Amino acid sequence: MASSTLFSMCSLKSKSFDIKAINSNKEFKFNASNLPVKAMLSSDFMNSRLLTDVNLLKWGQSERLLTDRMQCHAVEVEKVPAYTMGKKFQLDDVIEAQQFDRETLNAIFEVAKKMENIEKKSPGSQILKGYLMATLFYEPSTRTRLSFESAMKRLGGEVLTTENAREFSSAAKGETLEDTIRTVEGYSDIIVMRHFESGAAKRAASTAGIPIINAGDGPGQHPTQALLDVYTIEREIGKLDGIRVGLVGDLANGRTVRSLAYLLAKYQDVKIYFVSPDVVKMKDDIKDYLTSMGVKWEESADLMEVAAKCDVVYQTRIQRERFGERIDLYEEARGKYIVDKDVLKVMQKHAVVMHPLPRLDEITVEVDADPRAAYFRQAKNGLYIRMALLKLLLVGW
């Protein structure tokens, strides 16, 4: 696989340069205190040996790091492998969006593109032959559960599944989540779990000796949805730096928008607009995180104004199941922001409408025919991302 992000740190130490890189045998040039220097990088993640020279040397994607008043400038774009084939994936579980850095995201997306080729051109893949995945879903799901099961089968693996574990498993008898995980891991090689409690995935991961993938934990996070969302934005818009994204709908209870906000913070010059009814505004922890990461954000009550500015309008449904007995609050929030033909008229030609699905009436059916309606392509991309994650967690790069 290839990546255009080629180094992780550049610093100045005791009149010598310390550089950590992820590719081998590549030379580059940068200026520190107006001194041209050249480095030949050794293999693996090792410190480089530096020699002064005036030649311009090859390096990767244009990027700048400033440490101890030293600037490193790239001079030539060149894609090189970021990870060694067969090397173990650096994550044991997929629990939250904060686990991923930009370099890892780029590499996962490269694997997802390969999975797309496998799905389209190489039916009968046996990459995961002999592996068994258990899907443990305590809340309803269509796209997430089926896409994970399809992903596993398309790579030659097998599936054990329960659709409503809250009602039709031993949880209904009072069994703890920890006991369920200890039992199910004895039957499978990886567990994909959706739960109604925020933090349940972390509990499962701390208990299990096999990989756990969080397929949504109440109003907490949905990291694989965020991965496919960012992948879709890159495929649809053609970039991730410098984009404007409008998050619309139930932002207080929407685990998809929370995870997406965490991932968007990895990119440069991103601005996020929050458009929601007052009762379901984005929570302060996300806003504080974005601020700490230098990401600009703004709350707005005007969907039309935001839609005209954005590259992505990310609509979500108002989640009835999160309101409990407060039906009055649900009715107050529902139907306030709807993406329809009038919204499409003010959107830019290159912009897209996304939605994690299922939808109710927050995107009208007439929008479906517009090429900017990306939500069904978005759902399809979920298959490729989940194929990539299963492959990486079970057999590595």
Selected catalytic residue, list 26, 145, 203, 222 = 222
Selected catalytic residue, list 144, 180, 224, 316 = 144
143 is annotated as an active-site residue: yes
Alpha helix segments (H runs only) across the chain: 102-121, 143-154, 165-168, 177-184, 200-207, 223-237, 255-264, 284-292, 303-309, 327-333, 341-346, 375-395
Number of neighbouring beta carbons within 10 Å of residue 266: 21
Selected catalytic residue, list 38, 143, 182, 372 = 143
Q: Which is nearest to 330 in space by CA: 340, 315, 318?
A: 318
194 is annotated as an active-site residue: yes
What is d(CA 168, CA 197) in angstroms, rounded to the nearest whole number? 17
114 is annotated as an active-site residue: no
144 is annotated as an active-site residue: yes
Q: What residues contact residue 357 under an 8 Å CB cut-off, 6+ apart?
A: 143, 375, 379
Q: DSSP letters along 333-372, please?
A: HTTSS-B-HHHHHHS-TT-EEE--S--SSSB-GGGGGSTT
What is d(CA 316, CA 322) in angstroms, rounded to the nearest whole number? 14
What residues are annotated to the active site? 143-144, 173, 194, 222
